[in-house]
Amino acid sequence: MRWTTDRVRRILADVISWRRLDEHDFPLLAQWLGQPHVARWWAHETSDEAVRRDFGPSARGAEPNQDWLAQLNGTPVGLMQRCRWDDYPQYIEEVAPILTIPNSAISLDYLVGEPTLIGHGLGTRMMRSMLDKTWHDYPDSNTAIVPVHADNVASWRMLEKAGFHRVAIGDLTPDNLTDDKRHVIYRTDRPAHSSYRTPDSTIQPR
């Protein structure tokens, strides 16, 4: 697909919608994972077998993690992974020396798939929209906590623009094993007003 300047401008003006990733999306996801700006930090295999192995259980609802596609005017543009920290105690244990994870806290991971869409604020919009959706979906969750490698400046600056604050620094296992262990950890909390909704979010059924 060719992303002309006019098409980028038009699509970025659209409202973000969300739908769950399914197996029909795996070829597109493999393309995204192979993009240099994604591969640098995700360091994920892009073979059909690897994508099915690692994303298939979530697509089938066989594990607690959820994979969501961000869409603009029906066109997938990025991925957001969402889970409760409580469902992955091994990660809580790893982070414990650095930060205490509150009960029912949410973890989020993310990517913008198309290189042409980078640098236009799309990642920040995706994060704000998913936070809005998360507070709606999980009324018992009041906190989102996201670790990021310290060198991934674009990622943690995006989190800051989306309302996160740095709460810890420490060593964690990196996604890309060529990196060192230095990580920064960001946190944001549910807004005080319970009716929190933003206009930049629509939700589609699975």
Q: Please state, in angstroms and as integers, the Cα–Cα distance from residue 95 to each residue in 15, 141, 154, 158, 184, following that order.
A: 35, 19, 22, 22, 11
Q: Are strands 75-84 and 182-189 parallel, antiparallel or unpaired?
A: unpaired
**Residues 6+ away with beta carbon under 8 Å from 177:** 43
Quick one: pLDDT at residue 205? 39
The answer to whether the beta carbons of residues 43 and 35 sit under 8 Å apart is no
Q: What average pLDDT does this structure show over 10-18?
A: 80
For the domain made up of 5-203, the CATH class stated in words is: alpha beta
- Per residue in 19-44, is it b (16+ CB within 10 Å) or e — as a string? bebeeebbebbbebbebeebeebbeb
The Cβ-side half-sphere exposure at 168, using a 13 Å CA radius, reads: 18
* Listed residue (78, 68, 81, 80) closest to 113, CA to CA: 78
Cα gap 203→206, rounded to integer Å: 9
Average pLDDT of the chain to the nearest whole number = 91
Asked whether residue 73 carries a pLDDT value surpassing 50, the answer given is yes
Query: How many CB atoms sit inside 10 A of residue 15's CB?
Result: 13
Q: Structure pTM?
A: 0.88
pLDDT band of residue 151 (cuts 50, 70, 90) is very high
Q: What average pLDDT does this structure show over 164-176?
A: 97
